[in-house]
């Protein structure tokens, strides 16, 4: 009797070893513990025994039954583990013969236009500088002739940091630092600097307003720099970017840091001048505010306004890129929409 039970145990262990799925495991369970299972039959046979013998045999059979029950539960976990391993192996199987997907980065449309202008201006002797994005109120406002409480500050509301500094609202914030860094030019020479940069303003977002945008500022200071120089460089700039003649108009514009000041508008390339949301239905886009540097700004920068004059322009780089590439909504630039941004590779 006991030998028989021992053999049943061995048989069970052997069969369990070959089990590879839950279905197979269930078959083994039924074979041993089912209604007509091998162990169940042994229990039924107990009725033919009596006394001490019955008691001992019953105990042994029940021990075997518990052993098998536990082994089955444990083996379920082994099966789960095996299944998991199979999944991992599957996912780690690479086919090295499949060509890889090449996601090559491209320059951002704004960077393309910026580089194009920089390259052109470098050939004309301009130095490239980049101003800080976090600025003092002094550099951003006072140093460009916008004292505290001046209404011009209203139009350039921005983000104030806890330490009192601000995110610069225009590239003009670097004028003072640059003037101090290079000083007045030598006799017969001029100081020519181009300084592009990211600017920030508290704006209500729409198709043509963003809280983060790019400008590209230029400045030329010398002993007899005039409006003719200004107009010449503006023309060079626009011809370079659009690679053709662009319709422009010059009208007086007010900026506290230039005198006289101008607004150079370009014909809206999106609607061709008939009016659309991008140009606020005017057919023109303000693109190139400019003017002759205000004497106060020169003297705050340590340059004698009685001896030197200069011009400055603050190109809306983001707007220019919109015109050049016919992008209707300014929000695309910061959208991270790679599919759209990628199209502008030059
Ligand atoms: N800083 C001015 C602005 O952002 C633009 C500007 C620059 C105007 C230089 C004139 C000269 O509005």
State how beta strands 191-200 and 127-128 pair: parallel
Q: What are φ and ψ of residue 286, in 5° steps?
A: -70, 120
Q: Is the CB of 314 under 6 A from ligand 1?
A: yes
Strand partners, 314: 217
Q: Are 150 and 216 found together in one domain?
A: yes
Average pLDDT, the chain: 91
Give, for 79, the enclosing helix (H) or strand (E): helix 51-91
Q: Is the CB of 294 under 6 A from ligand 1?
A: no
For the ranges 82-96, 270-284, 289-303, the lowest mean pLDDT is seen at 82-96
Å from CA of 289 to ligand 1 middle: 5
Give the predicted TM-score (pTM) of the model: 0.68
Q: Is the pLDDT of residue 35 over 60?
A: yes
Å from CA of 77 to ligand 1 middle: 72
Residue 345: pLDDT band with limits 50, 70, 90: low
Q: Are 124 and 65 found together in one domain?
A: no
Q: Is residue 97 part of a domain?
A: no
Q: Is the CB of 29 under 6 A from ligand 1?
A: no
Q: pLDDT over 90 for what percent of the chain?
A: 66
Of 289, 290, 313, the one to substitute when testing ligand 1's pocket (max ligand atoms within 8 A of C-beta) is 289
Q: Is residue 272 part of a domain?
A: yes
Q: Is residue 66 part of a domain?
A: yes
Of 314, 317, 318, 320, the one to substitute when testing ligand 1's pocket (max ligand atoms within 8 A of C-beta) is 314
Å from CA of 175 to ligand 1 middle: 11
Atom of ligand 1 nearest to the CA of 314: 7
Q: Are 178 and 86 found together in one domain?
A: no
Q: Is residue 155 part of a domain?
A: yes
Q: Are 137 and 214 found together in one domain?
A: yes
Q: Is residue 298 part of a domain?
A: yes
Q: Are 140 and 250 found together in one domain?
A: yes
Tokens of 21: 């799925």
Q: Is the CB of 312 under 6 A from ligand 1?
A: yes
Give residues with Cβ within 8 angstroms of 55, minimum separation 6. none
Q: Is residue 103 part of a domain?
A: no
Domain interval for residue 278: 109-344
Residue from 129, 169, 172, 208 nearest 314 by CA:
172
Q: How far apart are CA 313 and CA 132, in angstroms?
A: 18
Q: Is the pLDDT of residue 101 over 80?
A: no
Nearest CA to ligand 1 atom 2: 314
Å from CA of 200 to ligand 1 middle: 14
Number of domains in the chain: 2
Q: How many CB atoms lie within 10 A of CB 305?
A: 16
Q: How far apart are CA 311 and CA 123, in angstroms?
A: 19
CATH code assigned at 276: 3.30.930.10
* pLDDT score at 346: 52
Q: How far apart are CA 255 and CA 253, in angstroms?
A: 7
Q: Are 22 and 141 found together in one domain?
A: no
Å from CA of 189 to ligand 1 middle: 24
Reported as a single tens digit per residue, the pLDDT across 194-234 is 999 999 999 999 988 999 999 999 999 999 999 999 989 99
Atom of ligand 1 nearest to the CA of 199: 4
Of 171, 219, 252, 254, the one to substitute when testing ligand 1's pocket (max ligand atoms within 8 A of C-beta) is 171
Reported as a single tens digit per residue, the pLDDT across 111-141 is 999 999 999 999 999 999 989 999 999 999 9
Q: Is the CB of 156 under 6 A from ligand 1?
A: no
Across 173-188, average pLDDT: 97
Q: Is the CB of 289 under 6 A from ligand 1?
A: yes
Q: Are 188 and 328 found together in one domain?
A: yes
Half-sphere exposure of 310 (CA within 13 A, CB side): 31
Q: Is residue 82 part of a domain?
A: yes
Residue from 235, 267, 269 nearest 120 by CA:
235
For the ranges 238-252, 301-315, 318-332, the lowest mean pLDDT is seen at 238-252
Of 144, 172, 233, 298, the one to substitute when testing ligand 1's pocket (max ligand atoms within 8 A of C-beta) is 172
Residue 101 gets which letter from DSSP?
A: P
């Amino acid at each position: 009797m006991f030998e028989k039970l021992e053999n049943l145990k061995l048989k069970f262990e052997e069969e369990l070893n070959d089990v590879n799925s839950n279905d197979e495991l269930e078959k083994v369970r039924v074979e041993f513990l089912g209604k007509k299972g091998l162990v169940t039959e042994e229990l039924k046979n107990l009725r033919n025994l009596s006394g001490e013998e019955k008691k001992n045999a019953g105990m042994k059979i029940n021990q075997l039954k518990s052993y098998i029950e536990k082994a089955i539960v444990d083996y379920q976990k082994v099966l789960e583990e095996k299944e998991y391993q199979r999944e991992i192996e599957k996912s780690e199987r690479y086919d090295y013969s499949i060509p890889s997907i090449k996601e090559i980065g491209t320059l951002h449309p704004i960077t393309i236009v910026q580089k194009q202008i920089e390259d052109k201006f470098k050939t004309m002797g301009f130095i490239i500088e980049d101003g800080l994005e976090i600025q003092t109120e002094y550099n951003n406002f006072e140093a460009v002739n916008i004292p505290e409480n001046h209404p011009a500050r209203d139009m350039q509301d921005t983000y104030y940091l806890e330490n009192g500094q601000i995110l610069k609202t225009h590239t003009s914030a670097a004028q003072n630092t640059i003037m101090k860094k290079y000083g007045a030019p030598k006799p017969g020479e001029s100081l020519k600097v181009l300084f592009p940069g990211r600017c920030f303003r508290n704006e209500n977002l729409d198709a043509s307003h963003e809280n983060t945008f790019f400008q590209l500022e230029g400045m030329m200071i010398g002993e007899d720099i005039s409006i003719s120089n200004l107009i010449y460089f503006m023309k060079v700039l626009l011809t370079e970017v659009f690679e053709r003649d662009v319709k422009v108009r010059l009208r007086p514009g007010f900026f506290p840091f230039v005198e006289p000041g101008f607004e150079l508008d370009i014909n809206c390339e999106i609607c061709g001048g008939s009016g659309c949301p991008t140009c606020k239905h005017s057919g023109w886009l303000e693109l190139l505010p400019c003017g002759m540097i205000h004497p106060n700004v020169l003297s705050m920068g340590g340059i004698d306004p009685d001896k030197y004059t200069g011009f400055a322009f603050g190109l809306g780089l983001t707007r220019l890129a919109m015109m050049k590439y016919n992008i209707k909504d300014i929000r695309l630039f910061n959208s991270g929409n790679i599919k759209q941004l990628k199209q502008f590779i030059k």
